[in-house]
Amino acid sequence: MKSDCRNFETKAVHGSSNFETRTGAISYPIYQSATFRHEGLNHGTGYDYSRLQNPTREELEKTVALLENGKECLAYTSGMAAISGLLTIFKSGEHLIVSDDLYGGTYRIFEQIYKDYGIEVTYTDTTIIENIKKSLKANTKAIYLETPTNPLMKIADIKKVSEITKKNNLLLMVDNTFMTPYYQKPLNLGADIVIHSGTKFLGGHNDTLSGFIIVNDEDLVQKLRFIQVSTGASLPPFDSWLILRGIKTLSVRLDKQQENAIKIANFLKTQNKVKKVLYPGLKEHTGYEILTNQATGFGSMISFYVDSKATVEKILKEVKIIIFAESLGGVESLITYPDTQTHADMPHEVKAKLGVTDKLLRLSVGIENVDDLISDLKNALSD
Protein backbone atom coordinates (compact mmCIF):
# COMPACT_ATOMS: atom_id res chain seq x y z
CA MET A 1 0.00 0.00 0.00
CA LYS A 2 1.24 3.49 -0.76
CA SER A 3 2.91 5.18 2.20
CA ASP A 4 0.55 8.17 2.00
CA CYS A 5 -2.46 5.95 2.83
CA ARG A 6 -2.88 6.39 6.57
CA ASN A 7 -6.62 5.97 7.20
CA PHE A 8 -8.25 2.64 7.95
CA GLU A 9 -11.19 3.03 5.58
CA THR A 10 -8.91 3.61 2.59
CA LYS A 11 -6.68 0.68 3.53
CA ALA A 12 -9.73 -1.59 3.83
CA VAL A 13 -11.06 -0.61 0.40
CA HIS A 14 -7.77 -0.80 -1.49
CA GLY A 15 -6.13 -3.64 0.40
CA SER A 16 -2.42 -4.34 0.40
CA SER A 17 -1.86 -4.05 -3.36
CA ASN A 18 -4.52 -1.50 -4.39
CA PHE A 19 -4.93 -3.47 -7.63
CA GLU A 20 -3.41 -6.52 -9.29
CA THR A 21 -0.25 -5.24 -10.93
CA ARG A 22 0.02 -7.69 -13.86
CA THR A 23 -3.40 -6.94 -15.37
CA GLY A 24 -4.54 -3.86 -13.46
CA ALA A 25 -7.58 -5.72 -12.13
CA ILE A 26 -9.29 -3.65 -9.39
CA SER A 27 -11.01 -6.69 -7.90
CA TYR A 28 -8.11 -8.93 -6.95
CA PRO A 29 -8.33 -12.10 -9.09
CA ILE A 30 -9.30 -15.51 -7.74
CA TYR A 31 -6.34 -17.76 -8.50
CA GLN A 32 -8.36 -20.96 -8.44
CA SER A 33 -5.43 -23.26 -9.02
CA ALA A 34 -4.03 -26.00 -6.83
CA THR A 35 -0.60 -25.94 -8.44
CA PHE A 36 1.68 -23.61 -10.42
CA ARG A 37 4.03 -24.21 -13.36
CA HIS A 38 7.82 -23.90 -12.99
CA GLU A 39 9.73 -22.55 -15.98
CA GLY A 40 12.73 -24.70 -15.14
CA LEU A 41 14.77 -26.19 -12.33
CA ASN A 42 15.07 -23.61 -9.52
CA HIS A 43 13.22 -21.15 -11.71
CA GLY A 44 9.62 -20.48 -10.64
CA THR A 45 7.08 -17.77 -9.98
CA GLY A 46 7.28 -17.89 -6.19
CA TYR A 47 4.21 -20.13 -6.04
CA ASP A 48 4.29 -23.90 -5.99
CA TYR A 49 1.15 -25.36 -4.48
CA SER A 50 -1.88 -23.62 -2.98
CA ARG A 51 -1.56 -25.35 0.38
CA LEU A 52 1.76 -23.53 0.69
CA GLN A 53 0.70 -20.20 -0.76
CA ASN A 54 -1.75 -18.76 -3.25
CA PRO A 55 -1.76 -15.22 -4.68
CA THR A 56 -5.37 -14.50 -3.62
CA ARG A 57 -4.78 -15.73 -0.07
CA GLU A 58 -1.48 -13.85 0.02
CA GLU A 59 -3.25 -10.60 -0.85
CA LEU A 60 -5.80 -11.23 1.90
CA GLU A 61 -3.11 -12.02 4.48
CA LYS A 62 -1.19 -8.86 3.64
CA THR A 63 -4.39 -6.81 3.84
CA VAL A 64 -5.41 -8.17 7.26
CA ALA A 65 -1.85 -7.66 8.56
CA LEU A 66 -1.99 -4.08 7.28
CA LEU A 67 -5.29 -3.40 9.06
CA GLU A 68 -4.07 -4.89 12.36
CA ASN A 69 -0.69 -3.11 12.17
CA GLY A 70 0.98 -6.52 12.16
CA LYS A 71 3.97 -7.75 10.20
CA GLU A 72 2.38 -10.96 8.95
CA CYS A 73 -0.97 -12.74 8.89
CA LEU A 74 -1.88 -16.37 8.31
CA ALA A 75 -5.30 -17.20 6.86
CA TYR A 76 -7.02 -20.42 7.95
CA THR A 77 -10.10 -22.36 6.93
CA SER A 78 -12.02 -21.18 10.02
CA GLY A 79 -11.58 -19.35 13.28
CA MET A 80 -11.28 -22.65 15.13
CA ALA A 81 -8.63 -23.84 12.67
CA ALA A 82 -6.66 -20.68 13.49
CA ILE A 83 -6.97 -21.29 17.24
CA SER A 84 -5.99 -24.94 16.81
CA GLY A 85 -2.95 -23.95 14.75
CA LEU A 86 -1.97 -21.46 17.42
CA LEU A 87 -2.29 -23.94 20.28
CA THR A 88 0.07 -26.39 18.57
CA ILE A 89 3.01 -24.10 19.38
CA PHE A 90 2.66 -25.11 23.04
CA LYS A 91 4.11 -28.29 24.50
CA SER A 92 2.82 -30.87 26.92
CA GLY A 93 3.19 -29.62 30.48
CA GLU A 94 2.91 -25.95 29.58
CA HIS A 95 0.28 -23.76 31.19
CA LEU A 96 -2.06 -21.10 29.76
CA ILE A 97 -4.24 -18.53 31.54
CA VAL A 98 -7.53 -18.09 29.68
CA SER A 99 -10.57 -15.81 30.00
CA ASP A 100 -13.22 -17.71 31.94
CA ASP A 101 -16.03 -16.36 29.77
CA LEU A 102 -15.26 -17.28 26.18
CA TYR A 103 -16.78 -18.83 23.08
CA GLY A 104 -17.93 -22.38 23.75
CA GLY A 105 -15.98 -23.76 20.77
CA THR A 106 -12.76 -22.33 22.19
CA TYR A 107 -13.53 -23.84 25.59
CA ARG A 108 -14.25 -27.17 23.87
CA ILE A 109 -10.93 -27.24 22.03
CA PHE A 110 -9.03 -26.51 25.24
CA GLU A 111 -10.92 -29.05 27.31
CA GLN A 112 -11.70 -31.88 24.91
CA ILE A 113 -8.72 -31.82 22.58
CA TYR A 114 -5.61 -30.03 23.85
CA LYS A 115 -6.01 -31.16 27.45
CA ASP A 116 -5.32 -34.67 26.14
CA TYR A 117 -2.00 -33.38 24.79
CA GLY A 118 -1.01 -32.15 28.24
CA ILE A 119 -1.74 -28.45 27.82
CA GLU A 120 -2.78 -27.11 31.22
CA VAL A 121 -5.36 -24.29 31.39
CA THR A 122 -6.51 -22.03 34.21
CA TYR A 123 -9.74 -20.11 33.55
CA THR A 124 -10.13 -16.84 35.38
CA ASP A 125 -11.87 -13.50 35.13
CA THR A 126 -9.17 -11.68 33.16
CA THR A 127 -10.88 -8.32 33.73
CA ILE A 128 -9.40 -8.51 37.25
CA ILE A 129 -5.62 -8.13 37.10
CA GLU A 130 -5.08 -9.73 40.51
CA ASN A 131 -6.81 -12.89 39.26
CA ILE A 132 -4.25 -13.16 36.48
CA LYS A 133 -1.33 -12.64 38.86
CA LYS A 134 -2.66 -15.31 41.21
CA SER A 135 -3.00 -17.75 38.29
CA LEU A 136 0.66 -17.47 37.23
CA LYS A 137 2.75 -20.63 37.55
CA ALA A 138 6.34 -21.56 36.83
CA ASN A 139 5.19 -23.33 33.64
CA THR A 140 2.87 -20.53 32.43
CA LYS A 141 3.64 -19.66 28.80
CA ALA A 142 0.80 -17.43 27.63
CA ILE A 143 -2.41 -15.56 28.41
CA TYR A 144 -5.41 -15.90 26.11
CA LEU A 145 -7.99 -13.11 26.15
CA GLU A 146 -11.36 -12.54 24.61
CA THR A 147 -12.31 -8.90 24.98
CA PRO A 148 -15.21 -8.29 24.76
CA THR A 149 -15.93 -11.84 25.89
CA ASN A 150 -18.53 -14.09 24.32
CA PRO A 151 -21.32 -13.91 25.44
CA LEU A 152 -21.08 -11.77 28.61
CA MET A 153 -19.23 -8.81 27.06
CA LYS A 154 -16.52 -8.54 29.74
CA ILE A 155 -13.72 -6.10 28.92
CA ALA A 156 -10.10 -6.84 29.79
CA ASP A 157 -7.49 -4.09 29.93
CA ILE A 158 -5.10 -5.28 27.22
CA LYS A 159 -2.31 -2.84 28.19
CA LYS A 160 -2.35 -3.89 31.84
CA VAL A 161 -2.39 -7.57 30.94
CA SER A 162 0.50 -7.00 28.52
CA GLU A 163 2.55 -5.53 31.38
CA ILE A 164 2.20 -8.88 33.15
CA THR A 165 3.13 -10.89 30.05
CA LYS A 166 6.19 -8.79 29.29
CA LYS A 167 7.39 -8.92 32.90
CA ASN A 168 7.04 -12.70 32.94
CA ASN A 169 8.20 -13.40 29.37
CA LEU A 170 4.80 -14.74 28.30
CA LEU A 171 2.85 -14.49 25.06
CA LEU A 172 -0.33 -12.43 25.04
CA MET A 173 -2.98 -13.75 22.63
CA VAL A 174 -6.12 -11.68 21.98
CA ASP A 175 -9.24 -12.75 20.11
CA ASN A 176 -10.30 -9.55 18.35
CA THR A 177 -13.30 -11.01 16.48
CA PHE A 178 -15.98 -8.86 18.15
CA MET A 179 -14.16 -5.55 17.72
CA THR A 180 -12.18 -6.07 14.48
CA PRO A 181 -9.12 -3.91 13.69
CA TYR A 182 -11.48 -1.07 12.80
CA TYR A 183 -12.32 -0.51 16.47
CA GLN A 184 -9.45 -2.17 18.36
CA LYS A 185 -5.81 -2.99 17.60
CA PRO A 186 -4.44 -5.35 20.27
CA LEU A 187 -0.90 -5.38 18.83
CA ASN A 188 -0.69 -1.64 19.45
CA LEU A 189 -1.74 -2.28 23.06
CA GLY A 190 0.95 -4.86 23.78
CA ALA A 191 -0.46 -8.13 22.47
CA ASP A 192 1.84 -10.55 20.67
CA ILE A 193 -0.80 -12.46 18.71
CA VAL A 194 -4.23 -11.48 17.40
CA ILE A 195 -6.84 -14.05 16.42
CA HIS A 196 -9.97 -13.58 14.29
CA SER A 197 -12.85 -15.64 13.16
CA GLY A 198 -13.00 -13.93 9.78
CA THR A 199 -16.33 -15.67 9.24
CA LYS A 200 -17.86 -12.93 11.34
CA PHE A 201 -17.34 -9.19 10.82
CA LEU A 202 -14.42 -9.32 8.40
CA GLY A 203 -16.43 -11.34 5.88
CA GLY A 204 -19.65 -9.73 7.02
CA HIS A 205 -22.14 -11.60 4.84
CA ASN A 206 -22.60 -15.00 6.49
CA ASP A 207 -21.40 -16.72 3.33
CA THR A 208 -17.96 -18.18 4.06
CA LEU A 209 -15.67 -19.41 6.83
CA SER A 210 -12.19 -18.15 7.64
CA GLY A 211 -9.77 -17.54 10.48
CA PHE A 212 -6.68 -15.40 10.98
CA ILE A 213 -3.60 -15.13 13.16
CA ILE A 214 -1.64 -11.86 13.05
CA VAL A 215 1.82 -11.57 14.60
CA ASN A 216 4.89 -9.34 14.64
CA ASP A 217 7.62 -11.81 15.66
CA GLU A 218 9.37 -13.41 12.68
CA ASP A 219 10.34 -16.59 14.54
CA LEU A 220 6.73 -17.08 15.58
CA VAL A 221 5.57 -16.47 12.02
CA GLN A 222 7.90 -19.18 10.71
CA LYS A 223 6.78 -21.65 13.36
CA LEU A 224 3.08 -21.03 12.67
CA ARG A 225 3.58 -21.11 8.89
CA PHE A 226 5.35 -24.47 9.13
CA ILE A 227 2.49 -25.90 11.20
CA GLN A 228 -0.12 -24.53 8.81
CA VAL A 229 1.61 -25.85 5.71
CA SER A 230 2.15 -29.24 7.34
CA THR A 231 -1.42 -29.65 8.60
CA GLY A 232 -3.10 -28.13 5.53
CA ALA A 233 -5.50 -25.65 7.17
CA SER A 234 -4.87 -22.91 4.58
CA LEU A 235 -7.79 -20.79 3.36
CA PRO A 236 -8.83 -21.60 -0.25
CA PRO A 237 -8.63 -18.88 -2.94
CA PHE A 238 -12.37 -18.34 -3.46
CA ASP A 239 -13.00 -17.94 0.27
CA SER A 240 -10.02 -15.58 0.42
CA TRP A 241 -11.58 -13.46 -2.29
CA LEU A 242 -14.93 -13.36 -0.48
CA ILE A 243 -13.25 -12.09 2.69
CA LEU A 244 -11.27 -9.52 0.69
CA ARG A 245 -14.54 -8.27 -0.79
CA GLY A 246 -16.18 -8.16 2.63
CA ILE A 247 -13.34 -6.17 4.16
CA LYS A 248 -13.89 -3.37 1.64
CA THR A 249 -17.14 -2.41 3.41
CA LEU A 250 -16.03 -3.27 6.96
CA SER A 251 -15.99 0.28 8.32
CA VAL A 252 -19.30 1.23 6.72
CA ARG A 253 -21.01 -1.91 8.01
CA LEU A 254 -19.62 -1.60 11.52
CA ASP A 255 -20.58 2.03 11.88
CA LYS A 256 -24.16 1.22 10.89
CA GLN A 257 -24.28 -1.91 13.05
CA GLN A 258 -22.97 -0.03 16.06
CA GLU A 259 -25.43 2.82 15.52
CA ASN A 260 -28.26 0.28 15.46
CA ALA A 261 -26.89 -1.60 18.48
CA ILE A 262 -26.79 1.48 20.71
CA LYS A 263 -30.43 2.25 19.93
CA ILE A 264 -31.50 -1.37 20.44
CA ALA A 265 -29.60 -1.69 23.73
CA ASN A 266 -31.35 1.40 25.06
CA PHE A 267 -34.71 0.09 23.84
CA LEU A 268 -34.18 -3.26 25.56
CA LYS A 269 -33.51 -1.46 28.84
CA THR A 270 -37.08 -0.12 28.75
CA GLN A 271 -38.73 -3.53 28.41
CA ASN A 272 -40.29 -5.12 31.49
CA LYS A 273 -39.39 -8.65 30.42
CA VAL A 274 -35.74 -7.71 29.93
CA LYS A 275 -33.89 -7.88 33.23
CA LYS A 276 -30.37 -6.87 32.22
CA VAL A 277 -28.65 -5.65 29.05
CA LEU A 278 -24.96 -6.36 28.43
CA TYR A 279 -23.59 -3.93 25.85
CA PRO A 280 -20.16 -2.26 26.21
CA GLY A 281 -21.51 0.95 24.68
CA LEU A 282 -23.77 1.59 27.67
CA LYS A 283 -22.09 3.92 30.19
CA GLU A 284 -23.20 1.70 33.07
CA HIS A 285 -21.43 -1.31 31.56
CA THR A 286 -18.58 -2.45 33.85
CA GLY A 287 -15.96 -2.26 31.10
CA TYR A 288 -17.16 0.95 29.45
CA GLU A 289 -14.24 3.14 30.56
CA ILE A 290 -11.59 0.55 29.70
CA LEU A 291 -13.03 0.01 26.23
CA THR A 292 -13.28 3.75 25.66
CA ASN A 293 -9.55 4.02 26.38
CA GLN A 294 -8.37 1.08 24.26
CA ALA A 295 -10.82 1.11 21.35
CA THR A 296 -12.54 3.56 19.04
CA GLY A 297 -15.95 1.87 19.16
CA PHE A 298 -18.14 -0.55 21.06
CA GLY A 299 -19.21 -3.02 18.38
CA SER A 300 -22.66 -4.44 17.67
CA MET A 301 -22.94 -7.45 19.97
CA ILE A 302 -25.60 -7.36 22.71
CA SER A 303 -26.46 -9.98 25.28
CA PHE A 304 -29.50 -9.68 27.51
CA TYR A 305 -31.30 -11.59 30.23
CA VAL A 306 -35.07 -11.99 30.20
CA ASP A 307 -37.48 -12.91 32.98
CA SER A 308 -38.08 -16.56 32.09
CA LYS A 309 -37.27 -19.38 29.71
CA ALA A 310 -40.82 -19.02 28.38
CA THR A 311 -39.91 -15.50 27.25
CA VAL A 312 -36.79 -16.88 25.56
CA GLU A 313 -38.90 -19.41 23.65
CA LYS A 314 -41.43 -16.74 22.67
CA ILE A 315 -38.77 -14.36 21.35
CA LEU A 316 -37.00 -17.06 19.33
CA LYS A 317 -40.29 -18.20 17.83
CA GLU A 318 -41.81 -14.82 17.07
CA VAL A 319 -38.96 -12.69 15.71
CA LYS A 320 -39.50 -12.26 11.97
CA ILE A 321 -36.77 -9.92 10.73
CA ILE A 322 -34.14 -10.96 13.24
CA ILE A 323 -33.09 -14.52 12.40
CA PHE A 324 -32.71 -17.25 15.02
CA ALA A 325 -29.34 -18.66 13.94
CA GLU A 326 -25.80 -19.19 15.16
CA SER A 327 -22.87 -17.00 14.17
CA LEU A 328 -22.58 -13.21 14.21
CA GLY A 329 -21.14 -10.17 12.51
CA GLY A 330 -23.06 -10.34 9.23
CA VAL A 331 -25.30 -7.73 7.64
CA GLU A 332 -28.35 -9.71 8.82
CA SER A 333 -29.32 -9.45 12.49
CA LEU A 334 -29.05 -12.83 14.21
CA ILE A 335 -30.24 -13.93 17.64
CA THR A 336 -28.64 -16.87 19.42
CA TYR A 337 -29.35 -18.90 22.56
CA PRO A 338 -25.89 -19.55 24.08
CA ASP A 339 -27.08 -22.16 26.58
CA THR A 340 -27.90 -24.73 23.87
CA GLN A 341 -26.02 -23.33 20.87
CA THR A 342 -22.63 -21.60 21.15
CA HIS A 343 -21.95 -22.90 24.68
CA ALA A 344 -23.66 -26.29 24.53
CA ASP A 345 -20.41 -28.17 25.29
CA MET A 346 -19.66 -26.14 28.40
CA PRO A 347 -20.65 -28.02 31.60
CA HIS A 348 -23.79 -26.76 33.31
CA GLU A 349 -21.96 -25.88 36.52
CA VAL A 350 -19.41 -23.79 34.61
CA LYS A 351 -22.14 -21.95 32.71
CA ALA A 352 -24.08 -21.37 35.94
CA LYS A 353 -21.01 -19.90 37.63
CA LEU A 354 -20.35 -17.57 34.72
CA GLY A 355 -23.96 -16.51 34.22
CA VAL A 356 -24.63 -18.26 30.91
CA THR A 357 -28.14 -19.22 31.99
CA ASP A 358 -31.29 -20.44 30.27
CA LYS A 359 -32.54 -16.83 30.31
CA LEU A 360 -29.66 -15.34 28.32
CA LEU A 361 -29.90 -14.33 24.65
CA ARG A 362 -27.18 -12.95 22.37
CA LEU A 363 -27.99 -10.54 19.56
CA SER A 364 -25.73 -9.73 16.62
CA VAL A 365 -27.09 -6.48 15.23
CA GLY A 366 -27.08 -6.07 11.46
CA ILE A 367 -27.50 -3.14 9.07
CA GLU A 368 -31.28 -3.27 8.66
CA ASN A 369 -33.46 -0.26 9.45
CA VAL A 370 -33.27 0.06 13.22
CA ASP A 371 -36.97 0.91 13.58
CA ASP A 372 -37.82 -2.40 11.92
CA LEU A 373 -35.51 -4.26 14.28
CA ILE A 374 -36.93 -2.57 17.36
CA SER A 375 -40.47 -3.23 16.17
CA ASP A 376 -39.57 -6.89 15.66
CA LEU A 377 -38.23 -7.16 19.21
CA LYS A 378 -41.18 -5.24 20.64
CA ASN A 379 -43.63 -7.64 19.04
CA ALA A 380 -41.71 -10.66 20.28
CA LEU A 381 -41.57 -9.23 23.83
CA SER A 382 -45.24 -8.25 23.97
CA ASP A 383 -47.79 -10.13 26.07
Residues 125-156 pLDDT 10s: 999 999 999 999 999 999 999 999 999 999 99
Do residues 175 and 273 share a domain?
A: no
The question of whether 307 is a catalytic residue gets the answer no
The whole-angstrom separation of Cα 345 and Cα 173 is: 23
Do 185 and 38 belong to one domain? yes
The strand pairing partners of 121, in sequence order, are 96
Share of the chain above pLDDT 90, in %: 95
51 is catalytic: yes
The β-bridge relationship of strands 301-306 and 274-278 is antiparallel
125 near 154, Cβ under 8 Å? Answer: yes
When pLDDT is cut at 50, 70 and 90, the band that residue 4 belongs to is low
What span, in angstroms and rounded, lies between the C-alpha atoms of 86 and 253? 29
Task: Look at strands 301-306 and 334-336 and give their pairing.
Answer: unpaired
Same domain, 239 and 264: no
Residues 285, 234 share a domain: no
Q: Which of 179, 213, 248 is the last residue of a domain?
A: 248
Annotation says 376 is catalytic? no
Structural domain that includes position 346: 250-381
Determine which one of 100, 101, 157, 175 is catalytic: 175
- The answer on 177 and 43 residing in a single domain is yes
Mean pLDDT value across residues 226-233: 96
Selection from 113, 185, 124, 117 nearest residue 149 by Cα: 124
Q: What tens digit of pLDDT does each residue of 43-98 get?
A: 888 899 999 999 999 999 999 999 999 999 999 999 999 999 999 999 999 999 99
Q: Are residues 166 and 299 in the same domain?
A: no
Measured CA angle at 255 (ends 330, 265), to 5 deg: 80
Whole-number pLDDT of residue 3: 45
Confidence of residue 269 (pLDDT cuts 50, 70, 90): very high
Q: Which of 28, 76, 103, 279 is catalytic?
A: 103
Among 229, 248, 267, the domain-final residue is 248
26 and 89 within one domain: yes
User: Does residue 160 form part of some domain?
Assistant: yes
**163 inside domain:** yes
Q: Which residues contact 251 (CB under 8 A, 6 or more apart)?
A: 8, 9, 12, 182
Q: Is 33 part of any domain?
A: yes
CATH assignment of the domain containing 82: 3.40.640.10
Q: Are residues 357 and 210 in the same domain?
A: no
> 293 with 376, same domain?
yes
Confidence of residue 383 (pLDDT cuts 50, 70, 90): confident
Q: Is residue 263 part of a domain?
A: yes
pLDDT in tens, 308-333: 999 999 999 999 999 999 999 999 99
Residue-wise pLDDT for 332-361, tens only, equals 999 999 999 999 989 999 999 999 999 999
The total number of residues shown for the chain amounts to 383
For residue 2, pLDDT beyond 80: no
**pLDDT band, very low/low/confident/very high, at 105 (cuts 50, 70, 90):** very high
Mean predicted confidence (pLDDT) in 217-230 = 96
Last residue within a domain, chosen from 190, 214, 248: 248
Task: Reply yes or no on whether 137 is catalytic.
Answer: no
CATH number, domain with residue 338: 3.90.1150.10
- Which residue out of 11, 57, 200, 273 is catalytically annotated? 200
Claim: this prediction has a pTM higher than 0.75: yes
pLDDT tens-digit map of 149-188: 999 999 999 999 999 999 999 999 999 999 999 999 999 9
**Same domain (yes/no): 326, 234:** no
pLDDT at site 285:
98
Instruction: Specify if 290 maps to a domain.
Output: yes
- In the chain, the number of structural domains is 2
* 366, part of any domain: yes
Residue 2 lies in a domain: no
